[in-house]
Amino acid sequence: MNKDLSDLIVYSGLSHPSLAKRIVSHLDLPLGRSQSIVFSNENIMVRLQDNCRQKDVFVIQTSSSPVNDHLVELLILLDAIKYASAARVTAVLPYFPYGRSDKKDEPRISIAARLVADLLQTAGADRVLTMNLHSPQIQGFFRIPVDQLLAAPIFFDYFNETLFMEESKEDFVLVMGDAGAAKAFGYYSDELNLPVAIVDKFRPDHSEKPIIRQIIGDVRGKSCLIVDDEITSGGTLIEAAERLSAEGAKRILAAAVHPVLSGDAVKKLVASPIERIIVGDTVPVREKIKGHENRFAVLDLSPLFAKAILSIHNGSSISALFPPSVRRRP
């Protein structure tokens, strides 16, 4: 049975107001009112303008630029909500901050994603709702429940209803952006019934210029759909696309959940052989792609977040929101 929605309040930080507004509109709720003030010493003050005593509170804040300011604003919001006597607080992080810092693969470094997990819990989060984590172990950094949504159902709808309507599905091969993507998105090939190729990529340093050793699999004469979790500098996609082109790919397209698109990524991507880039909207992207909308398809992921918020509020299953092949992913 659905609980009364008058017990539910959804707040948003400053990172992605348009996503937050779309999420609450699916729930038929107004956005909780709060005010963030940044003083001249760069300290942030957050004031909630609604009574949230004993309410089920969600706070939406994604990792968009300025990433560190938005993270601190989220921590202060969580703290304010906790001390305003909310019954439960769920931090909703569509794109998880510092997700790529998920292991100690060099001496004397921090696993910053674990530190973020600690900070969220200390600030007052009772639960976390996020989407397509860079790696699954991030869930294990928490001692509170973490629900990880997968953007797959919305991407599959786009592939089936748009992409494979324009060109026969038989012509396509899924190209996993790297070994990590091959593991994370292996179920795409089962669900879409498509062959797979893998980009064998490594990063010699932190310059955001990856090196492609080889493409594993058959891409000649194929329409290649590169799949990855995020696009940051665009380096991975651009290097992969150039190699695919050199190996005789017929068309090159790309799909990624989190379009960070830092620096001049958009400019470089539109100059690359990638015909179309299909992305989620876990971070604000419309301004960045202005003037190049014909090269991008931006998928609205807000319905999935709204359904998940409702499921958490009602204590119903989140995995039931996904088709069985996605649920059974390794």
How far is 222 from 224, CA to CA, in rounded Å? 6
Binding residue (CB under 6 A) for ligand R5P from 208, 242, 247, 275: 208
86 or 151: CB nearest ligand R5P? 151
User: In the chain, where does DSSP find H-type helix?
Assistant: 17-27, 67-83, 112-123, 152-158, 164-166, 179-184, 186-192, 235-246, 265-270, 302-314, 324-327
* Residue placing its CB nearer to ligand R5P in the complex, 147 or 229: 229
Out of 230, 272, 281, 309, name the contact with ligand R5P by CB under 6 A: 230
Choice among 3, 104, 169, 201 that is catalytic: 201
Nearer to ligand R5P, 231 or 312 (CB): 231
User: In DSSP terms, which residues pair with 306 in a beta bridge?
Assistant: none
Identify the DSSP state of 272.
S
Nearest Cα neighbor of 100 from 113, 89, 83 is 113
Single residue of 138, 229, 281, 285 touching ligand R5P by CB under 6 A: 229
CB 155 within 8 A of CB 227: no
The yes or no reply on residue 102 touching ligand R5P (CB under 6 A) is no
Q: Is 200 in the site for ligand R5P (CB under 6 A)?
A: no
Residue 271 C-beta: closest distance to ligand R5P, Å: 15
DSSP code at position 84: T
CB 256 within 8 A of CB 231: yes
- The residues, ordered by sequence, that sit 6+ positions from 107 with a Cβ below 8 Å of its Cβ are none
Q: How near is the Cβ of 212 to ligand R5P at its closest, in Å?
A: 11
Binds ligand R5P by CB under 6 A, chosen from 228, 257, 269, 304? 228
Site string for ligand R5P, 233-272 (x = CB under 6 A): xxxx------------------------------------
**Eight-state DSSP code of residue 159:** I
Determine the residue type at 143: R
Rank residues 19 and 181 by Cβ distance to ligand R5P and give the closer one.
181
DSSP class of residue 137? G
- For residue 164, the number of C-alpha atoms closer than 13 Å in the C-beta half-sphere is 16
Please identify, using beta-carbon distances, which residue of 56 and 102 lies nearer to ligand R5P: 102
Q: What are phi and psi of 130, to 5 degrees?
A: -145, -175
Residue 231 is a binding residue for ligand R5P (CB under 6 A): yes
Site size toward ligand R5P, by CB under 6 A: 15
Phi then psi for residue 324, to 5 deg, are -55, -40
Nearer to ligand R5P, 124 or 235 (CB): 235
Site string for ligand R5P, 152-191 (x = CB under 6 A): -------------------------xx-xx----------
Instruction: Tell me whether residue 307 is one of the annotated catalytic residues.
Output: no
Q: Interface with ligand R5P by CB under 6 A: which residues?
A: 177-178, 180-181, 208, 210, 228-236
The residues annotated as belonging to the active site are: 201
